[in-house]
Chains A and B, each alone.
Chain A
Amino acid sequence: MMTERTFPRGGREIPHRKEATENKAILVMGAPPVVTIPMQQHIGAPCEPIVAVGDHVKIGQKIGESKKYVCAPIHASVSGRVTAVEPRSLLNGQKVMSVVIENDGQEEQLTNSPSDVKKMSPKAIREAVKEAGIVGMGGAGFPTHIKLDPPKPVDTILINGAECEPYLTCDHRLMVEKPTELVGGLRAIMKAAGASRGIIGIEGNKPDAVAILKETIKDDPDLSIVVLQVRYPQGAEKQLIKAVLNREVPSGALPCEVGCVVNNVHTAIAVYQALTEGVPSYERVVTISGGAVLDPRNVLVRIGTPVQALLDYCGGLMGEPAVIVSGGPMTGPPVVNLEGPVVKNLSGILALTPEEVDFDENRPCIRCARCVNACPMGLAPNMLGLYSDKGLYNEAAKIGLRDCIECGLCSYVCPSRRALVTWIKSGKAGLAAQQTKEKVV
């Protein structure tokens, strides 16, 4: 039995609730009749639409781009006719410029020519990744080509296969079903970023993924698998780096400061497919789960598919869900608009029953210190929450407001069900607004 590694302070084992989907093969959902593709699916500058109403587009054709550095282009996920270029509501209700395409069912594919990674230069790989519009698919949505060009030299690429959020199993299934693609993607990322070593970190509750990937990498001395303790938030970037490499990312700095870059499993597979198959980022695997879903599944789905259609594909809902979440239950925002589209960084849609969820009650703090003990960053969430809620942003900043990674564990453990992480997030926003104002004055 191998010892499982983890991060040293805080954290907590929380229920996985992955049973409903972890052993089911990924299903491929056919393209929907209409897709709505937002022009911003990443952190950074939004893309400008480069197609107009009436245009005919093919699968994989670029339909949005920007000259800005922090940006990733957007591609069509079906072939057909553009019927609208206008702001449409995302899952969270926010309106974003989108391209609506009516699927003609022809599935005409436009792909870049496949390349041989071995013959590509690091720069060529980064360029291809950028052209393919790949962003962090674990949830962050940061453009991947920028991560592959770190401002400091790195020695290690970490693949984040922790998937520590309950319910979610899309990375797990991908590790089991696409190990060769994952390892190929890791190799390409190592080359692009100039790293000599690649490590895949996987939580111990996915022994099948560990076994398959160990077999896949057995002839490659540069690659290794690290089994991680099942402990939330094991998949948080800083905690993962600490657990695997025992390196601590300085406050406010990027992982490259300690010589590494972290990529998500799905992102690495997307990189591989972009390079070797010439396929840009226009589809992804999404976990559809939660007690209110009839047939929970992992589904390969086109970007732009309405989430409602995805739920219907999984048999629809039974009973009334209390809340529908995009992403994991610990950090994922609630879904406001079920007609909103699947985007590149959407890892899951969870329809949770009243029995599965708990809401804030904001009873008095009894200073039990569970939040302090649970915080993986060594913060005092009770005080950060209090200061943030009262608008004392500078006080909060002095005790580490900016260091909070918003994992939500403080709110999770609070026996008084206080909205700690919600207050802290608003405190961060408040602090930023205050500083902007001070700069102007």
Chain B
Amino acid sequence: MMEDLKLVISPSPHIRDKDTTQNIMFSVLVSLLPVLVAAVYFFGLNALRLVVLSSAAAVATEAVFQKLRKKPITVWDGSALVTGMLLGLIVPPTLPSWMVVLGSVFAIAIGKQVFGGLGQNPFNPALVGRAFLTASFAVPMTAWTGPFDTVSAATPLALGAARTSLPDLFFGSVAGSLGETSALAILLGGIYLFYRGALDYRIPLGIFGSTIVISLLAGQNPVFHLLSGSLLFGAVFMATDMVTSPVTPIGRWIFGIGVGLIIMLIRLWGSYPEGVTFAILIMNAVTPLLNRWTRPRIYGQGVKASE
């Protein structure tokens, strides 16, 4: 008889989309695989060393932090792993191990957990880690080496467009941070993320659009600007971080355009050769405002009855 039935009394909806936060984080990890393969191909075991250490440090920091705060340990959601991997892929190949570990601890502890953990951080944690490392260890953080060896070399941004081969820039055979050199690998990852529904096209397209327009206005090669430095990696994997970018469609356009604008301002007139980190962090700070200013029109508001 039915008296024995143990019915769950839960509110509607009773069915849910299969996609979960964990799946989304997993998709981001998968999308980083081409970049990781390219990094190992061009920079050898240094790439593996830095990414593994950074990832392990991020996950461990999250677990320790949650343990200390007596919160449930949620490292299995994959978000700390994503941050660790991202940070590992945006440092120079010869960075000492302890530095990347320190950066990763900082990224999770100060960039994420002090704000309350997943979803609460205003700034992209991996970029917080990178900004911290750049400010603390300026020399090792800009000690670039060429691909396939450890001889120091200038990055394309330092060399300029005239002295850089665009095919090399596209495939990644240039000096730079581990995961940022191969445009091809980044685009493969980006396409996968888009296909999985975990990437909003508006943000990268906004960044590309404003970068192209400003390069053209400044009389520079827009393709060079798109492919060099951290721009592509930042546009695909960093600026699209859901937690720290706007939730509204128009907000996302403005966010992307703003990031591209600040990148180009820094590149053209700033004292740094590259500005992706700060461009995204600045736009992260504007995100709550963008969310408020760009709310969609609510159905039925502002319309009049027909007579």
Find chain A residues with CB under 8 A from B200 CB. Answer: 369
In-complex Cβ contact of A334 among B6, B11, B247, B298 (8 A): B11
In-complex Cβ contact of B299 among A248, A322, A350, A414 (8 A): A248
Find chain A residues with CB under 8 A from B17 CB. Answer: 14, 412-415
Interface size on A, residues (CB 8 A): 72
In-complex Cβ contact of B21 among A257, A335, A363 (8 A): A363
A-contacting 9-mer, from B116-124, B143-151, B170-178, B225-233: B116-124
Q: Is the CB of B247 within 8 A of A412?
A: no
Find chain A residues with CB under 8 A from B15 CB. Answer: 14-15, 166, 329-330, 352, 356-358, 412
Q: Which of B10, B118, B242, B244 has the most CB of A within 10 A?
A: B10
Find chain A residues with CB under 8 A from B20 CB. Answer: 415-417
In-complex Cβ contact of A378 among B23, B245, B298, B304 (8 A): B298
Closest to B23 in A: A415
CB distance from B293 to the nearest CB of A (A): 12
Given the known inter-chain contacts A9-B296, A248-B300, A382-B247, please indicate yes or no for A325 contacting B14, CB distance below 8 A.
yes
Closest to B20 in A: A415
Give the secondary structure class of A's interface.
loop
Find chain A residues with CB under 8 A from B77 CB. Answer: 363
A308 interface residue per 8 A CB criterion: yes
CB distance from B147 to the nearest CB of A (A): 35
Bound together, the chains give a CA A238 to CA B5 distance in angstroms of 38
Given the known inter-chain contacts A251-B300, A380-B247, please indicate yes or no for A322 contacting B13, CB distance below 8 A.
no
B305 interface residue per 8 A CB criterion: yes
Closest to B116 in A: A364
Bound together, the chains give a CA A382 to CA B301 distance in angstroms of 20
Q: Is the CB of B242 within 8 A of A367?
A: yes
Give the number of residue pairs across the A-B interface with Cβ within 8 Å: 179
Q: Is the CB of B13 within 8 A of A336?
A: no
Q: Is the CB of B300 within 8 A of A331?
A: no
A366 interface residue per 8 A CB criterion: yes
A411 interface residue per 8 A CB criterion: yes
Query: Which positions 1-45 of chain B face chain A at CB distance < 8 Å?
Result: 2, 5-17, 19-21, 23-24
CB distance from B259 to the nearest CB of A (A): 17
Find chain B residues with CB under 8 A from A308 CB. Answer: 2
Find chain A residues with CB under 8 A from B296 CB. Answer: 9, 372, 378, 380
Bound together, the chains give a CA A252 to CA B305 distance in angstroms of 11
B248 interface residue per 8 A CB criterion: yes
Bound together, the chains give a CA A411 to CA B11 distance in angstroms of 11
Find chain B residues with CB under 8 A from A332 CB. Answer: 12, 14
Given the known inter-chain contacts A253-B300, A366-B242, please indicate yes or no for A338 contacting B13, CB distance below 8 A.
no
Bound together, the chains give a CA A76 to CA B244 distance in angstroms of 60
CB distance from A368 to the nearest CB of B (A): 4
Q: Is the CB of A321 within 8 A of B301?
A: no
A377 interface residue per 8 A CB criterion: yes
Bound together, the chains give a CA A195 to CA B2 distance in angstroms of 49
A208 interface residue per 8 A CB criterion: no
Bound together, the chains give a CA A298 to CA B232 distance in angstroms of 56
Find chain B residues with CB under 8 A from A382 CB. Answer: 247
In-complex Cβ contact of A359 among B6, B7, B10, B245 (8 A): B10
Closest to B251 in A: A369
A250 interface residue per 8 A CB criterion: yes
Q: Which of A166, A332, A333, A364 has the most CB of B within 10 A?
A: A364
Bound together, the chains give a CA A357 to CA B306 distance in angstroms of 43
Closest to A335 in B: B7
Q: Is the CB of B247 within 8 A of A329?
A: no
Q: Is the CB of B298 within 8 A of A377?
A: yes
Bound together, the chains give a CA A333 to CA B9 distance in angstroms of 9
B297 interface residue per 8 A CB criterion: yes
Residues of A at under 8 Å CB distance from B? 9, 14-15, 152, 166, 238, 242, 247-253, 257-259, 308, 317, 320-325, 329-336, 338, 350, 352, 356-360, 363-369, 372-373, 376-380, 382, 399-400, 403, 408-409, 411-417, 419, 421-422, 425
A-B contact list, 25 entries, CB within 8 Å? A15-B15, A238-B299, A238-B300, A250-B300, A257-B305, A317-B5, A320-B6, A323-B8, A323-B9, A325-B12, A325-B14, A333-B12, A336-B7, A338-B5, A350-B14, A366-B118, A366-B243, A367-B243, A369-B246, A399-B295, A403-B299, A415-B17, A415-B24, A417-B16, A421-B12
